[in-house]
Copies of this chain bind each other. A is one copy, B any other.
Amino acid sequence: MAAATIDVAGIGNAIVDVIAHADEAFLAAENLAKGAMTLIDAPRADQLYDRMGPAIESSGGSAGNTMAGLASLGGNGAYIGKVRDDALGAIFCHDISTMGIRFDTPAATSGPGTARCLILVTPDGQRTMGTYLGACVDLGPEDIDPRVVGAAQITYLEGYLFDPPRAKAAFRRAAAVAHAADRLVALSLSDPFCADRHRAEFLDLIARDVDILFANEAEICSLYETRDFDAAAAALRSQVKIAALTRSAKGSVIISDDKTHMIAAVPVAQVVDTTGAGDLYAAGVLFGLTHRLPLPTCGAIGSVCAAEIISHVGARPAAELDKLVASAGLV
């Protein structure tokens, strides 16, 4: 088996975020589930965009954010995801490539435009998302480059990939290629509603193909249909090598074999926008794992990254994460 030349290969929906402030009344009027990601079609995306306030645009996508975090930490990443050859697609490609992340998935040359996620940030810093998947529906198993996945220590899959129809097959192919090369497969559950939509398939995938699971409290409880976090965590222990479970301001828990590591959150002066908190926590943990750091250190790096991202608007790092982590004495 050749040595891995890539730390993490992330596979996800390639999305440009459109971020605006909104109040609770707006969410209610638009019938949006606060804190969740709702899939919307093109006419609804246009309607919601017309109604929301002035916005800024930033590359996003859950696994894309994680890869950006990994790169900012000094990790060596690759990304697989589908954009259209349009203006938003060019923005997405620029932002990920310029961070040194390998990204060669061919852009779609016809069909729907690059995906957009309309993100509404309420005064409490929570984000509520409406996603138009656009060109992401074109991602298929043919887009999984075995030279990339086979060369990555960890292949990281976002659960949102179960929403577009053909990405599920891409997902499974990536897991097969990774395991054939004796690599690890990580999965993020993405969203409690996503976990709910795909519960049976997620449970099957976790049992068979997932080595490392990322989830927050709501997601893991949704997956196991319980309100008891400890019960859900216990159910998971025998299923995966490592489970990294986030609990917002309460920090996170990393479970591995019979060990349980409690990780503190890094406090922030003001929670401005929680978009990307889970994605950046995952970036920190993945960086630690691929650099052979102890699990509590992996979690602590995740906490530093999550604290940075919730301190400003947008889900891509605004500071150099490698310096923050070095300042915190973690590397």
Contacts and interface: CB of A to CB of B under 8 A. Distances in A.
Given A313-B318, A318-B313, A54 B95 contact: yes
Contacts of A312: 312-313
A57 B58 CA distance: 6
A54 B319 CA distance: 12
Interface stretch (A84-92, A125-133, A157-165): A84-92
Contacts of A87: 86-88, 113
B94 A49 contact: yes
Given A313-B318, A318-B313, A53 B99 contact: yes
A52 B98 contact: yes
A224 B55 CA distance: 39
Interface in A108-135: 113
Contact of A91 (B57, B86, B94, B314): B57
B95 A55 contact: yes
A106 to B, nearest CB: 19
Contacts of A68: 54
Given A50-B98, A54-B98, A312-B312, 9 more contacts: A54-B59, A54-B316, A55-B94, A56-B57, A56-B58, A56-B314, A57-B57, A57-B91, A87-B88
27 contacts: A21-B318, A49-B94, A50-B98, A52-B98, A53-B98, A54-B59, A54-B68, A54-B95, A54-B96, A54-B98, A54-B316, A55-B91, A55-B94, A55-B95, A56-B56, A56-B57, A56-B58, A56-B314, A56-B316, A57-B57, A57-B91, A86-B87, A87-B87, A87-B113, A312-B312, A312-B313, A313-B318
